[in-house]
């Protein structure tokens, strides 16, 4: 089953296009919100899986994510060190972290979350998703974590700065100057995040199999381009 990573700046349309691609191909869709919801439902999903009988339907995406989270936390417990992720809501907080917030995590700390724990958690989740495949992953360094996999298509979705500002102004119903500040802050956070955790520039076209500029095409057409690119790279999909 193929894997597609989609990376894009705010206002580029990456998340909307990712959902369209996942729907067209019948793949799972994972973004920061999905990861946060799965972490919040960890206990419920874990009980659901444990209570299944043989012959039950396969686990849902949320349940599989919960399994990855649980394995990660259990390894932390075995290590024996006090881990803030073990506290109630710790993992949910980590998954909800924005690029800017993740880039600002400290290198060391006793009670607070650290950058090393964040990278370990996000890498565990991405590699776990890749084992089964059949998923569209939005951002979170997935283009770096899963780099080099022959079954994975890496996509960058982009648009000119002015276009993205206009889209955010319309989406959030805010003046253009405020939208400009939102886009600039988001762009800085995204750059800092990828530099800190993966030593890459997310705007480097060489990281991707295909770069889609949405300034002049619809999200639906962009999704079709990505589907076509997948079938070129991973024949039979």
Query: pLDDT tens digits for 100-127?
Result: 999 988 876 545 567 887 888 888 888 8
Could you tell me what percent of the chain has a pLDDT over 70? 82
CA separation for the pair 225, 6 (Å, rounded): 13
Question: The whole model's pTM is what?
Answer: 0.84
* Phi, psi (rounded to 5 degrees) for 4: -125, 125
Q: Which domains does the chain have, with CATH numbers?
A: 3-233 (3.40.50.300)
| Residue 55 confidence (pLDDT) above 80 | no
Neighbour count for residue 85 (Cβ, 10 Å): 21
Structure tokens at 33: 């919100």
| Segment 131-159 mean pLDDT | 94
Strands in 210-213's sheet, in edge-to-edge order, are: 28-30, 135-138, 3-8, 152-158, 210-213
> What are 183-200's pLDDT values in tens digits?
999 999 999 999 999 999
């Amino acid at each position: 089953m193929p894997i597609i990573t989609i990376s894009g700046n705010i206002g580029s349309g990456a998340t909307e296009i990712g959902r369209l691609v996942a729907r067209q191909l019948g793949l799972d869709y994972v973004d920061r919100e999905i990861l946060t919801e799965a972490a919040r439902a960890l206990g419920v999903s874990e009980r659901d899986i444990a209570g299944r009988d043989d012959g039950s339907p396969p686990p849902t995406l949320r349940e599989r994510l919960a399994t990855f989270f649980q394995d990660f936390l259990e390894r932390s417990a075995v290590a024996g060190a006090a881990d803030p992720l073990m506290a109630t809501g710790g993992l949910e907080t980590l998954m909800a972290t924005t690029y800017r917030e993740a880039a600002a995590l400290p290198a060391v700390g006793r009670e607070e979350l650290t950058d090393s724990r964040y990278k370990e958690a996000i890498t565990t989740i991405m590699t776990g998703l890749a084992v089964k495949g059949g998923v569209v992953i939005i951002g979170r360094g997935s283009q770096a974590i899963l780099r080099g996999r022959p079954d994975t298509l890496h996509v960058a979705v982009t648009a000119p700065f002015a276009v993205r500002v206009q889209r955010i102004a319309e989406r959030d119903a805010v003046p253009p100057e405020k939208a400009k500040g939102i886009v600039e802050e988001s762009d800085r956070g995204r750059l800092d995040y990828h530099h800190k955790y993966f030593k890459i520039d997310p705007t480097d076209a060489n990281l991707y199999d295909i770069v889609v500029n949405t300034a002049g095409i619809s999200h639906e057409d962009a999704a079709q381009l990505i589907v076509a690119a997948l079938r070129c790279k991973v024949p039979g999909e």
